[in-house]
């Protein structure tokens, strides 16, 4: 298992590939016990990437609880500063090694499974939905972190402008999805993710009003359909079939008004809420940074499996938008394909 590792180059053919890996320095070695003394000594604070910038962390940090390996990292942002030296001095185990450098290694492998997954679509690209312009508009991934017990608010769902616990919230489905100007495809999970997030809100705030604006609600499969039916029974969850056209902010209250046309009644709706969640889709990682191997992609950047050629296989969201269960099933299949490549040699 190589962490902080990036594939730089792949040459060869099925059964005999050479993979060049770039291993970035952690500046902390295997003697780390996660005591956190380095973080206590470090004064520099940086944005937490894991919490989408909603929290500051020290320049010496554990990336997240359950991080593997369970070791602190010294941010490259403080390397060469007096703070880095302070971290080194503070470590009672000699685990901080500021002389670590980037390494490149070559591996000989017979088959490769690309499981490079997805990234959230950049919501700042969706001009009419106000992300980055209005503080109380967040993305679904940000809400995941807000609702998480180990997140920036320790699970309290508060809005960014004043940390007020929310009483009303709107979900904007297909934010940038099924839209020729952004992601033309359905990301499969966003409807279910919003329904799930509605339960996070309901568990904490029994009276909160939840508005879900959608084009079509997609609940693929029997279990997901049952889940959708259960949420529909909640009298404080309002489903509005209508694409959100615009959003605006009240400068005093910082509340957001969402404007949409109800496709069922034809009525124009102006719904004011305390916070808005954009259900942004999943974009394959390879769409923005092509992988250094001879792979075929569809027009959206998902890797197309070429089973005739064999040798390299894409699993999970590298191949198509999917939930965790489908990604796992698909990955098991692709691992078997990889094993078959070796057996056929
Ligand atoms: C808001 C939201 C909520 C969701 N909630 C649920 C849920 O409740 N249940 C559910 O089933 N699904 C949920 N999903 C979907 C779920 O996140 C995906 O199904 C799942 O993450 C797909 O797994 P994956 O392994 O294919 O990709 P990923 O989870 O994206 O993993 C890919 C990994 O590859 C690494 N990587 C990428 N590029 C490189 C590279 N070049 N070199 C080395 N490593 C690289 C990444 O760092 C990452 O660790 C949700 C999605 C969203 C957007």
Residue 343: per-residue pLDDT: 86
What's the confidence (pLDDT) of residue 225? Answer: 97
The alpha carbon of 170 and the centre of ligand 1 are apart by a number of angstroms equal to 24
Spatial distance between the Cα atoms of 45 and 219, rounded to a whole number of angstroms: 41
The per-residue pLDDT string of the chain (345 residues; one tens digit each, 9 = 90 and over) reads: 999 999 999 999 999 999 999 999 999 999 999 999 999 999 999 999 999 999 999 999 999 989 999 999 999 999 999 999 999 999 999 999 999 999 999 999 999 999 999 999 999 999 999 999 999 999 999 999 999 999 999 999 999 999 999 999 999 999 999 999 999 999 999 999 999 999 999 999 999 999 999 999 999 999 999 999 999 999 999 999 999 999 999 999 999 999 999 999 999 999 999 999 999 999 999 999 889 999 999 999 999 999 999 999 999 999 999 999 999 999 999 999 999 998 866
pLDDT of residue 106: 98
- What token pair was written down for 200? 């996070």
Query: Probe ligand 1: pick from 200, 327, 328, 333, max atoms within 8 Å of CB?
Result: 327
User: Which residue owns the Cα nearest ligand 1 atom 13?
Assistant: 323
Query: For the range 247-250, what are the long-range contacts, defined as Cβ-Cβ under 8 Å and sequence gap of 24 or more?
Result: 247/128, 247/129, 247/130, 247/134, 247/137, 247/172, 247/276, 248/130, 249/130, 249/133, 249/134, 249/136
Query: What secondary structure letter does DSSP report for 318?
Result: G
118 CA from centroid of ligand 1 (Å): 6
Q: Are 273 and 171 in contact (CB under 8 A)?
A: no
pLDDT of residue 345: 64
Residue bearing the CA closest to ligand 1, atom 34? 116
């Amino acid at each position: 298992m190589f962490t902080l590792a990036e594939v730089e180059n792949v040459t060869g053919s099925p059964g005999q590939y050479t993979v060049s890996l770039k291993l970035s320095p952690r500046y902390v070695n295997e003697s780390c016990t996660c005591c956190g003394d380095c973080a206590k000594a470090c004064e520099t604070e940086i944005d937490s990437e894991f919490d989408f910038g909603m929290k500051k962390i020290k320049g010496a940090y554990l990336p997240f609880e359950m991080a593997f390996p369970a070791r602190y990292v010294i941010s490259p942002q403080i390397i060469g500063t007096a703070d880095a030296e302070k971290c080194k001095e503070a470590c009672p185990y000699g685990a901080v090694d500021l002389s670590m450098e980037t390494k490149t290694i070559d591996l000989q492998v017979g088959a490769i499974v690309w499981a490079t997954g997805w990234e959230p679509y950049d919501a700042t690209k969706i001009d009419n939905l106000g992300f980055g312009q209005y503080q109380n508009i967040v993305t679904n991934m940000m809400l995941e972190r807000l609702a998480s017990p180990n997140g920036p608010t320790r699970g309290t769902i508060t809005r960014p402008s004043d940390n007020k616990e929310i009483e009303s919230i709107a979900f904007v489905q297909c934010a940038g999805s099924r839209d020729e100007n952004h992601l033309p495809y359905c990301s499969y999970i966003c409807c279910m993710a919003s329904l799930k997030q509605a339960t996070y809100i309901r568990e904490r705030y029994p009276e909160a009003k939840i508005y879900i604006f959608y084009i079509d609600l997609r609940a693929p499969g029997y279990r997901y359909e049952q889940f959708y039916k259960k949420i529909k029974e909640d009298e404080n969850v309002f489903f509005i079939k209508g694409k959100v056209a615009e959003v605006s902010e009240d400068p005093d209250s910082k509340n957001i008004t969402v404007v949409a046309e109800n496709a069922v009644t034809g009525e124009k709706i102006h719904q004011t809420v305390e916070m808005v969640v954009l259900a942004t889709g999943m974009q394959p990682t390879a769409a923005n940074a092509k992988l250094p191997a001879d792979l075929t992609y569809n027009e959206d950047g998902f890797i197309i499996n070429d089973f005739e050629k064999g040798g390299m296989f894409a699993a999970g969201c590298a191949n198509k938008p999917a939930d965790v269960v489908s990604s796992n099933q698909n990955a098991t299949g692709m691992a078997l394909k990889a094993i078959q490549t070796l057996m056929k040699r």
